A and B are shown apart, each in its own frame.
Chain A
Amino acid sequence: MTHILKMDRLAKSLPAKKADGGRRMLFQEVSGSVSSGETVVVLGRSGQGKSTLLRILSLLEQADSGSVELDGKSCADMEARLWRRQVAYVSQTPVMLPGSVEANLAAPSALHGLPFQREQAYALLDEAGLGSIDPGKDASELSGGEKQRLSLIRSLLLKPHFLLLDEITASLDPGSAMSIEKLLSGWRSEHGAGMLWISHDQEQAARVSSRIWLMARNTILENADTGRFFSRPGTPEGLEYLGKGPSLDEPGESGAEES
Chain B
Amino acid sequence: MSYTALAFTVLFIMITMFISYWQKLGLEKGIAVGTIRAAVQLLAVGYVLQAVFESRSHWLLAAIIAVMIIVAARNASAKGKGIPGIFWRMAAALLATELLMMGILLLLGIIEPTPRYIIPLSGMTIGNAMVAGGLFLTQLMRESESSRGEIETLLALGASPRQAVQGTLKRAVRYSMIPTIDGMKTVGLVQLPGMMTGMIIAGADPVEAVRYQILIVFAFTSSAAVTSMLLGLLTYRKLFSDGIGMLVRYGGRGD
Q: Which residues of A contact B (CB under 8 A)?
A: 14-15, 58-62, 75-76, 79-82, 84-85, 88-91, 93, 95, 97-98, 107-108, 111-112, 151, 154-155, 158
Contact call B158/A111, Cβ cutoff below 8 A: yes
Separation of A253 and B153 alpha carbons in the complex (Å): 40
Q: Which residues of B contact A90 (CB under 8 A)?
A: 156
Contact call B159/A81, Cβ cutoff below 8 A: yes
Separation of A93 and B148 alpha carbons in the complex (Å): 12
How many residue-residue contacts, CB under 8 A, span A and B?
A: 72
Q: Which residues of B contact A81 (CB under 8 A)?
A: 155, 158-160, 245
Least Cβ distance of B172 to chain A in Å?
15
Contact call A97/B153, Cβ cutoff below 8 A: yes
Q: Judge if B110 is at the interface, Cβ distance under 8 Å.
A: no
Contact call A60/B157, Cβ cutoff below 8 A: no
Known A-B contacts A14-B255, A95-B149; A155 and B156 likewise in contact (beta carbons under 8 Å): yes
Contact call B246/A61, Cβ cutoff below 8 A: yes
Separation of A59 and B244 alpha carbons in the complex (Å): 6
Contact call A62/B246, Cβ cutoff below 8 A: yes
Q: Judge if B30 is at the interface, Cβ distance under 8 Å.
A: no
- 8 Å CB contacts to A: which residues of B152-194? 152-160, 163, 167
Q: Which residues of A contact B160 (CB under 8 A)?
A: 81
Separation of A111 and B156 alpha carbons in the complex (Å): 11
- Which of A82, A84, A89 is packed against the most chain B CB atoms within 10 Å? A84
Q: Which residues of A contact B159 (CB under 8 A)?
A: 81, 111
Separation of A14 and B255 alpha carbons in the complex (Å): 7
Q: Which residues of B contact A58 (CB under 8 A)?
A: 156
Q: Which residues of A contact B247 (CB under 8 A)?
A: 60
Least Cβ distance of A55 to chain B in Å?
9
Contact call B254/A88, Cβ cutoff below 8 A: no
Q: Judge if B203 is at the interface, Cβ distance under 8 Å.
A: no
Q: Which residues of A contact B252 (CB under 8 A)?
A: none
Q: Which residues of A contact B246 (CB under 8 A)?
A: 59-62, 80
Q: Judge if B150 is at the interface, Cβ distance under 8 Å.
A: yes
Q: Which residues of B contact A79 (CB under 8 A)?
A: 245
> Contacting B163 at CB < 8 Å: which of A15, A85, A111, A154?
A111
| Count, chain B residues at interface, CB 8 A | 21
Contact with A along B216-255 (1 / 0, CB 8 A): 0000000000000000000000000101111100000011
Contact call B241/A62, Cβ cutoff below 8 A: yes
Q: Which residues of B contact A107 (CB under 8 A)?
A: 154, 157
Q: Which residues of B contact A75 (CB under 8 A)?
A: 244
Closest 8 CB pairs of A and B: A85-B158, A80-B245, A95-B149, A95-B153, A59-B244, A89-B156, A84-B158, A80-B244
Q: Which residues of A contact B152 (CB under 8 A)?
A: 60, 91, 95
Contact call B154/A111, Cβ cutoff below 8 A: yes
Q: Which residues of B contact A59 (CB under 8 A)?
A: 244-246
Contact call B158/A112, Cβ cutoff below 8 A: yes
Q: Which residues of A contact B163 (CB under 8 A)?
A: 111
Least Cβ distance of B240 to chain A in Å?
9
Q: Which residues of A contact B156 (CB under 8 A)?
A: 58, 60, 84, 88-91, 155
Least Cβ distance of A78 to chain B in Å?
9
Offer 6 A-B interface pairs, CB within 8 angstroms, sorted by A. Answer: A15-B254, A62-B243, A81-B158, A81-B159, A107-B157, A155-B156
Separation of A115 and B158 alpha carbons in the complex (Å): 16
Contact call A108/B243, Cβ cutoff below 8 A: no
Least Cβ distance of B5 to chain A in Å?
57
Least Cβ distance of B81 to chain A in Å?
20
Known A-B contacts A95-B150, A98-B167; A111 and B157 likewise in contact (beta carbons under 8 Å): yes
Contact call A158/B157, Cβ cutoff below 8 A: yes
> Contacting A15 at CB < 8 Å: which of B150, B245, B255?
B255
Q: Which residues of A contact B149 (CB under 8 A)?
A: 91, 93, 95
Chain B residue at minimum C-beta to C-beta distance from A108: B157
Contact call A97/B154, Cβ cutoff below 8 A: yes
